[in-house]
Structure 1
Amino acid sequence: MLAGLIAMMLGEAAAPTDFGVRVVGARPPAAVVKPVAFVRPRIGAAGFRIEAAAQIGALFGRVTSTRRSVEHNRRVGGVPNSWHLSGRAMDIARRPGVSHAAIAAELRRRGYFLQESLDEGDHSHFAFADGPVRLRVRSSADQLAEVHREADYFRFMLAPSGASGKRGMR
């Protein structure tokens, strides 16, 4: 084994590999790395299956949520029009070192169309569409209305500034 490694380092006959090692000065083999093909997800007779997407998500961490009931969605603080209610969304608690972008890229590579792709800090959220998603053009009034609706979900508390916080505090 060591002799083979030394031979490769010296440029002697190196066998092609599938992990990208090349010998300096030698021409790479014609087809060492196969291009990744676009793969459409298999959709059964019943349509989209969240379970198939969740199997992919489980490769990157723990799938914490897929289909939810209205009551469960309310208990976990989900929005009233959540994609989880129709079984078209999943949340993944990512393993350390796994990025949201890596999961999204793998889902797209496997042919899934992402309606929503949100990095929510402690987890990733993905919602799925049946086909390519078109960008929505929204007016500034629509965007402002959405911000006001989101204010219902988020609460902020202001604390007085200062070293000891004495101003206005008792």
Structure 2
Amino acid sequence: MIIEKCKLGFAFRAIREGEMAAATLGVNISKYRLIAFTISALYAGFLGGAYSLWINYVYPGDAFAGLKTDQMFVMLLLGGIGSYLGPIIGATALLSILEVLWTYWTEVWYMVFLGTVIMFIVLLMPQGAVGLILKRREVISTRKLLKELVK
């Protein structure tokens, strides 16, 4: 994305890694927080409008229901926070699984499944699927390097 390579993206990453360090370097924390909030609100508003056009009606009970919020949270956790590919992987994986389960389970078991997935991810994959893939690639490259050094 364009933001990642510009001054704004560097400021966002600096704040994410350490607020005090970013402030010491001269990053205006409150300014960039406001910009981040505005960008996220813009995305949420645009996608909420597109979603309402897609389903042909708007009902606040659906938009703010716990089930939708929980699904989005699990998608984000499953894919991984801090990357563009993570939420896409998480959404694809979770929606594929949930479409199958929804036909056989009631809403109560559906919520139990979501809760179990959240606990599994938080305990065993805190960086999500993308973090797990990156860690695996790092281990493989380290092994290759060690094999080369041993030869």
TM-score normalized by the length of structure 1: 0.22
Q: Which has the larger radius of gyration?
A: 1
> With structure 2 as the length reference, what TM-score do the two structures score?
0.24
More helix by share: 2
